[in-house]
Amino acid sequence: MKENKLVPKRRFTEFQNADGWEQRILGQDITLRGGATPSKVNPKYWNGPISWLSSQEIKNRYISKGTHTITNKAVEDNTTRIVKAGTPLIVSRSGILVRLFPISIPTVDVAINQDIKALIFDNNIISRSFLVAQLQKNTTFILESIVKTGTTVQSINIPDFIKLQLFYPEKKEQQKIGNFFKHLDQMISLEQRKLEKTKALKSAYLAEMFPAEGERVPKRRFAGFKDEWQEWKLGDLAEIVRGASPRPIQDPKWFDMNSNIGWLRISDVTEQNGRINYLKQRLSILGQGKTRVLNKPHLLLSIAATVGKPVVNYVETGVHDGFLIFMNPKFDREFMFQWLEMFRPMWNKYGQPGSQVNLNSDIVKRQMIAIPSIEEQEMISEFFKKLDDSITNQQKQLDKLKAMKQAYLQEMFV
């Protein structure tokens, strides 16, 4: 590569000796067009054959339908705007979605609301797939420089957005790059759908393989089991104790990165979905004396932040006071982990509307649960553990593809 040419770090072989990339302004090649919302009180406009999208539905790369549909009458009366399949869509005004800067590609003709902008290509100079990938590469700059922050709503400053300066190679190279990232996006979308399908399958089984509250028999059961499940208080099935935290928690004397004992925080639970296989922060000898240290796996329950989330530690762990620990259990640990996953939304009855749930050990101890024989518990455990392993593997594959895409975005654009 010649030093005076603007070229990316990574380039397809056939373009190694091609000209450098040209700088252009986004508004030279595209126009942004927004949609509108038909009158909600006019029944002639709704529940028709045309998908109508709101900003909350611009999340995944490819989209074929929204929550709502409109009629041809709504289009005839110019109450909204139809965009053709393949037209890139961005959210121009919203809450969290603008901060993520998602770009969706409709696979069918759709109508859009006023908070969505369609990228209409004014000439044949720019490849659509190339521009979509390049905008993703520039997401950080767009969010830091072009998004206007409000108290509850954020918006993209459209005049600044269309002045965005980008670099383009000649059309054939654009198309090759665009097709490459389009293929990656399709792979990511496929993995995302597989993951969502497996999660939905698990949710359906959780609802059917545990009895509804107040009942003794589940809707779905393994062959050979007929006895009613027995009701117990959780506090009669284990010694339920609270974790403990050294104070003040910011004092560095409680921590030592060379320690073998990890420190379980709420953030670890969300990052690892309740199955704790590693802990970044480590407890010093002093810190260990101020908490409860678990040297083998235990079932825990989060009672702060991610309230009601079941947790199992598979490493030596000091337990924060935002967790309850089930000591000396009389149940299969994996069975109870899955029951707590199923029951998690029910803890909301202990919170006021609009406020955080306030769980404590007494509430958890008093909670009634129906459980089967240990043999049936173990079969249920094995079934759900396999589903969880599938979810974990699919999530890893999805994360791997996303990381690969980010690496290529950084190397294949100027």
* pLDDT, tens only, 338-379: 999 999 999 988 876 656 777 899 999 999 999 999 999 999
- Residue 228: band (very low, low, confident or very high) from pLDDT cuts 50, 70, 90: very high
CA distance 104 to 57: 9
Residue whose entry in the numeric block shows the structure tokens 């072009």? 146
Highest-confidence range of 48-52, 140-144, 303-307, 350-354, by mean pLDDT? 48-52
DSSP letter for each residue of 337-386: HHHHHHHGGGGGGGS-TTS-----HHHHHH-EEEE--HHHHHHHHHHHHH
Q: Which two tokens stand for residue 160?
A: 């600044």
DSSP 66: -
- Residue 2: band (very low, low, confident or very high) from pLDDT cuts 50, 70, 90: very low
- Residue 200: band (very low, low, confident or very high) from pLDDT cuts 50, 70, 90: very high
Could you tell me where the beta strands, DSSP code E, fall in 19-95? 22-25, 30-34, 46-53, 62-63, 68-70, 81-83, 89-91, 93-94
- Is 334 strand, coil or helix? helix
Q: Which residues of 244-277 are buried (b: 16+ CB within 10 A; e: fewer)?
A: bbbeeeeeeebbbeebebbbbbbebbeebebebe
Predicted pLDDT at 355: 64
Whole-model pTM: value is: 0.87
Query: Span 10-24, mean pLDDT?
Result: 95
Q: Going by DSSP bridges, is the β-strand pair 62-63/103-106 parallel, antiparallel, or unpaired?
A: parallel
CA distance 194 to 323: 32
Predicted pLDDT at 1: 42
Q: Which residue has the higher pLDDT, 144 or 404?
A: 404
The secondary structure element, H or E, covering residue 397 is helix 374-411
The backbone torsions φ and ψ at residue 190, rounded to the nearest 5 degrees and listed phi first, read -65, -45
AA identity, residue 322: G
DSSP letter for each residue of 122-189: -SSSS-HHHHHHHHHHTHHHHHHHTEEE-SS-EEE-HHHHTT-EEEE--HHHHHHHHHHHHHHHHHHH
- Residue 396: band (very low, low, confident or very high) from pLDDT cuts 50, 70, 90: very high
Could you tell me where the beta strands, DSSP code E, fall in 256-341? 262-264, 275-276, 292-294, 299-302, 310-313, 317-319, 323-327
Predicted pLDDT at 151: 61
H and E: helices and strands count for the chain: 12, 24
Predicted pLDDT at 5: 80
Predicted pLDDT at 351: 73
Q: What angle do CA 398, 399, 400 make, to 5 degrees?
A: 90
Other C-beta atoms closer than 10 Å to the C-beta of 174 total 21
CA distance 119 to 105: 10
> Could you tell me the CA-to-CA distances from 288 to 278, 293, 304, 372 in Å, in that order?
17, 7, 21, 37
Instruction: Pick the closest to residue 403 from 411, 13, 179 (CA basis).
Output: 411
DSSP bridge pairs for 263: 318
Predicted pLDDT at 146: 84
Q: Which two tokens stand for residue 294?
A: 């678990």
The predicted-structure confidence for 243-300, as pLDDT tens digits, reads as follows 999 999 999 999 999 999 999 988 899 889 899 999 999 999 999 999 999 999 999 9
Is the pLDDT at 3 greater than 60? The verdict is no
Query: Span 32-54, mean pLDDT?
Result: 96
Predicted pLDDT at 350: 83
The predicted-structure confidence for 109-133, as pLDDT tens digits, reads as follows 999 999 999 999 999 999 999 999 9
> Residue 46: CA atoms inside 13 Å, Cβ hemisphere, count?
11
Predicted pLDDT at 148: 75
> Residue 102: CA atoms inside 13 Å, Cβ hemisphere, count?
20
Q: End-to-end alpha-carbon separation of the chain, Å?
A: 13
The backbone torsions φ and ψ at residue 241, rounded to the nearest 5 degrees and listed phi first, read -125, 160
Is the pLDDT at 65 greater than 60? The verdict is yes
Predicted pLDDT at 327: 98
Other C-beta atoms closer than 10 Å to the C-beta of 54 total 18
